[in-house]
Structure 1
Amino acid sequence: MAPNDSTETTGRTSRKLSRYVVPVAVAGVAAATIGLVPALAASGDPELPEITAQELVEKIAASDTQTLSGTFKVSTDLGLPSLAGFAQGLGGGSGSSSADPQDKLTELISGTHTLRVAADGPDRQKLTFLDGSEEYSLIHNGGDVWAYDSKSNEVLHEKADGAGKAPEEELPGTPKELADEVLKAAGDTTSITVGGTAKVAGRDAYQLVIKPKQSGSTVDSVKIAVDAKTGTPLKFTLASVQGGKPVLDAGFTKVDFGKPAASTFDFEVPKGAKVTEGLDGAEHGKSPEDLEKEFGGLEGLFGGKGAGAEGPNVIGEGWTSIATFDTGAAAPKTDEAPAEFQGFLDALGDKVTGKFGSGTVFKTKLVNALMTDDGKVYVGAVTQQALVDAADAAK
C-alpha cells in the first residue's frame, strides 16, 4: 500500500453489545474512532535502522498481531465544556442497563482514562476500565460477550454471533486497521514522513508523521508510533492547529505480545447481579428516533425538516473538505433551545457574519460547524474562517 493511496473510508454504526468489544485492545481507540496521541513522554530515542515512510507504511500493513495484554491510557481534549449536564439533558444513559457499553465508552469523549486490555485472536478480548475503585469490564470469549458494572452489580450478556456475522466482522478496527484507514485516506493533500524514533511502553518504535499540506484544516498532525519489531501501532496521535493539549492522547503504557492465560477471559456472573440478556436493535441503547425526541426543541436548531434529510454535499477535498446541507428552515436563536442545553450551546457558539449573512459557529478543537440564520449548515475539520469562506462562496 503506497502512502499516497486514496480511498473513501466509511464508518459502521451498531448498537450490538458485541460490536463494542475490540479485537486488539482498542476500546479507547475506538471511542474516538479518530486519531490518538502519545500518552507517555519519550524516555529516550532509540537507535534504529533507517526506514522510509513507504517502508514503514508497508510494515504496518504487514503486521499481524493476534495476542497481547497491557495497559492503555486515553486523554481527550476537544475544547468542550463539561459534558455532564449535557448527558443529563439527554435523559442519562440508554435506560436499558448501567452495564451498557454505549454509555461507558461515551466517557472517553473527555478527560483521562486508563484501561487494561487483553486479546487472544479474534475470539477472545477483554477490556477493563481502571478509573476509580469500581470495575467495569467488557469480555468477549468465544460465543459470549459480557459487560459488567460492579457499581450497580449489573451484567449485560449477548451471544457474539447474534447478528449472524462473525465477531471480527462486526467489531471496530484494531489500532493497525485505524492506522490503515488514515493512511488510505492520505492523498496528494497529505505529507507522510518518518519523524524519528521513540520509546513506547518500553519498546523501540518509529514515528510516522502525517500532516495536511493544505491550510485551513484544524488538524496539525497525526502521529503513529509503530513498534519496530512487530509493526504494531502503539500510539496514534492527533494534534490541533490550536496547540496546547492534543485533541486525543492515547497509547500503551505497558504491553506484552505473549498469549494471555485462557482464564483471563473467563466470566462468572457475580452473586446477586442483575443480568440483562440479548438486547439488540432498537432495544439496545437509544434509536436515532429516541434521541431526536429527547433533544426536543433542539430539533428546531437544525431545521424543522431534520438536518440533511437529503444528505450533505461535500465541497473541497482532502483535509479541508466541508459537508454542507440546507435544513430548509430558518435556524432559531440558540436561546430557544431547552434550558438544559443552553449553557452548553452558549459555550460552543460564536456569532459570525459575512456575504452569506449571519450565523453561529459551533466549535471544538477538531470539528467546527457553521449554522446560518437562514438554515444552511457547513461542517468539517476546518477553521472557523474556512467555514465562513465556504458560506460566502456559496452565495
Structure 2
Amino acid sequence: MGGCFPCTRPPKSDEKDQIPPTSEKLKSKSSVDLKKQSSLNENQISSSASGRIAAQTFTFRELAAATRNFRADCLLGEGGFGRVYKGRLESSNQVVAIKQLDRNGLQGNREFLVEVLMLSLLHHPNLVNLIGYCADGDQRLLVYEYMALGSLEDHLHEPSPDKKRLDWSTRMKIAAGAAKGLEYLHDTASPPVIYRDLKCSNILLDEDYNPKLSDFGLAKLGPVGDNTHVSTRVMGTYGYCAPEYAMTGQLTLKSDVYSFGVVLLELITGRRAIDNSRAAGEHNLVAWARPLFRDRRKFSQMADPMLLGHYPARGLYQALAVAAMCLQEQPSMRPLIADVVTALAYLASQSYKPQNQTNQTASQLAAPGSPQTRVDLERRPPSGSERDRSRASK
C-alpha cells in the first residue's frame, strides 16, 4: 500500500481545505451535517455526523488483541500512512484489516477524520466497508472489511509465485467495478465527492476479484452550485495526478477521470504509472503511450506481454479508446465517469476464450481518441446525473 505525497510543490493554502467545509453537507440516502473539527476525539467524531455514523468504536487493547499485539506475521502491507494488519475481532470472530496510522507519518488527524466520515456515510459495493475506528490517546487505527486478494498492485505489478496472473476478462471486470465506485462518488453523493487518490494500490480485491476503492483520507467534497472546481493543496501520487490539478490546485471530477485513465492503462499494458527501471522515454506511462495512441499499427504493442496474446483484438482497441479519452490533457475533453462505466461494463460482459479470438486487423478498428471513437461514445444513451451533464457542458 503506497503512501501519498504532494504531486508538486503545493501552493499556499489554508489547512481547512483538507476537511469538509462547515457549511457543506454530505448526503448518502440521508442528509448529514459535517461540523467543523479543530481537534479529534470520539465524542467529536460521533457528533460530527449528528449521531448517525455507523462505524463502531474500538479500544486500542481490543485491536491489539485482534492482531496478536501487532505481530509481524499478521502484517499485510506498509505504506506512507502506516501499517495494515490482518486481525480477528474477539467480540464477533470477524476477520478484518486494521490500519495503524504512523504517529509520525503523512496522515494526520484531519485525514483520519475525513476517512471515518466519508466511509461511514458512503456505501457502495465498490467502496471498501469501514467497520470501525480507534482514537485512544494518540493512537489512530481504522478497521476495514478484510479483502482476501489484497490490492490490484499486488496482482498486476508485484505478483508472487502463488498468485495467478490477471487474464483479460478479469482486468476488464476490475476496471468496470472501479469505475462504478467512482460513478457513485461523482453522481450519487451530494455534494459529489472527489476521490483524489485513485491508484492500483488503493483498489482492493475480494476473493472473486471484485474491486473496492479504499483509503479516503484525501477525498474532497466537490464543487456545488455555479462553482466549477475546488481549490486545494495539491496532494496525490506522482504519475496519477491530472496535469491541470498538479499545476493549479484546481480540483474537479475530471481530475478523478484522468487518474482512472492511468489505472486503466496500467491494466491494459501491465506497466507502472512511473517506472524508472525502464528505458529512457518509458519512465512515465502516459508519456510513453501518447504517441502510440496515434498509430493503430502499434496498438498490439501496448498489450501486457503477460497476457500472451490472449485478449480480443477489438476489446483491446476499445479499452485503449476509453483510456485515451480519460487521459485527454483538457479536462473538458474527458468523458463523464458514467459514460466510462457504460463502455467498460460492455467490455466486461463480453466473454472471451483464446480459441474464439477473431482475426481482426488494426486497420479495421478506430484509433483511440479518434473522431470515430468519440462519436461512437457520444451516441450512447445518455447516462449519469443531470448535475454531471450540465457540468460537462460548461
Q: If the length of structure 2 is used for normalisation, what is the TM-score?
A: 0.26
Structure 1 or 2: more helix by fraction: 2
- Structure with the higher fraction of residues in strand conformation: 1
Higher relative contact order (CA 8 A, sep 6+): 1
The TM-score normalised by the length of structure 1 is: 0.26
